[in-house]
Amino acid sequence: MSGDIITPQTTATSEQGRATGAADRGTTLAPSRAARELGLKRSEFDLAVHLGRVRTVPDEGGGGRRVPRDEIERIRTGHGSSALRESVRAVGTTAGAAVMEVTGARFNRLARLGLLVPVHFYLNRYRAVVWLYLSDELRQFAADEKNAALLKGRTPQGLRDQLGEGLDLRPRNWRGRRLGLLLRQADHPWARAAAVASLLDATDVSDVVTDPYERSHLRRFRPMPAAHGSPGSPAAQLAEEIMTAGDPDEIEWLRSDLAHAVAAARGQHPAPRPVPRGMPTAPRGRNPVLPETEPRPPETEQPAPRETERNRRRSGLFGRLWRRDS
């Protein structure tokens, strides 16, 4: 190994923190247990967390996020589990059109125009993207008198032109919703930066975060996306396209946000890096042993050239969508 990473010393304080974290597990529940206590399917519970309707906290023991017991009681003594279940009921195009009392074709047009925001997606066995929407939000949209002209009669010419040019804002709107979830759950400056970076491809992240040690640290906090097929499969590649920003203005906006988030994280908690050769050391067991050779950056991979990577993305299914500022 070419160098040692500077890490916090193991002290009585950190041992006490671990003990406290272990004790905290007694006042929190694993997601599967919390879902059972609330009488929800796991998919319903996960969506409630996604929407911020069930509060979670990080597991100090490193086992993912957990649900405080008092959060379970808050839901039970409030509107109750049945109300929570109804608030997260997600429907596809056919059921959504029935909720709004419109045809499936009109429903799809409204969704592609970005007027109906998907809350989730999955790939069916034919690798077709199935978008899901909150039933509550669809009812609210249909009940709003300002939307009456969109639900009946001919779609305005300007909107028809946009649809004819391939406009489909469903992936972008879903990404915006996902970013909101990730930022709500981020409990560390680098986690907030990683949430933004998770919607950009590696080329854009490398352009913005030029320090290899910061990129390596950023990857430690990168949220794990939901699996869609085996790695490298057509289904996984399609899901990756949906989860990666594709519109030029969206990319630039995220790049700017990433630069600001990394600057803020750097100011609060600089990324760890190898100890320079010759720096005095503390006794073994308290600090890392110093390297005998000059440290090297943690990365060896070379990101694909920007245009090559962008052209690859644009040739995909969602890369052919009409681009516009919004």
Q: What is the mean pLDDT of residues 283-312?
A: 48
Does pLDDT of 318 surpass 50? no
Which pLDDT score, from 0 to 100, does residue 40 have? 92
Give the C-alpha separation, 245 to 321, whole Å. 12
Q: What is the DSSP letter of 40?
A: -
Alpha carbon of 276 to those of 2, 75, 280, 291: distances in Å?
A: 11, 53, 10, 8
Which pLDDT score, from 0 to 100, does residue 1 have? 42
Q: Burial, 271: exposed, middle or buried (Cβ in 10 Å; 0-12, 13-18, 19+)?
A: buried
**Model-level pTM?**
0.74
- pLDDT grade, residue 225 (50/70/90)? confident
Q: What is the mean pLDDT of residues 276-297?
A: 51
Which pLDDT score, from 0 to 100, does residue 25 have? 64
Question: Domain residue spans in the chain?
Answer: 23-88, 90-167, 188-278+293-326
**Cα dihedral sign, 180-219-206-226:** negative
CA Rg, the chain, in Å? 23
Q: Which residues is 287 bridged to in the sheet?
A: 284
In CATH, the number for domain 23-88 is: 1.10.1660
- 3-state percent helix, strand, coil for the chain, nearest multiple of 5: 55, 5, 40
Give the C-alpha separation, 214 to 218, whole Å. 6
CB-CB contact of 152 with 98 (8 Å): no
Does pLDDT of 231 surpass 90? no
CA 289 from centre of chain: 37
Least confident of 98-112, 183-197, 311-325: 311-325
Q: Burial, 100: exposed, middle or buried (Cβ in 10 Å; 0-12, 13-18, 19+)?
A: buried
Does pLDDT of 275 surpass 80? no
CB neighbourhood size of 193 (10 A): 29
Does pLDDT of 178 surpass 60? yes
CB-CB contact of 158 with 236 (8 Å): no
Does pLDDT of 153 surpass 90? no
CB-CB contact of 168 with 131 (8 Å): no
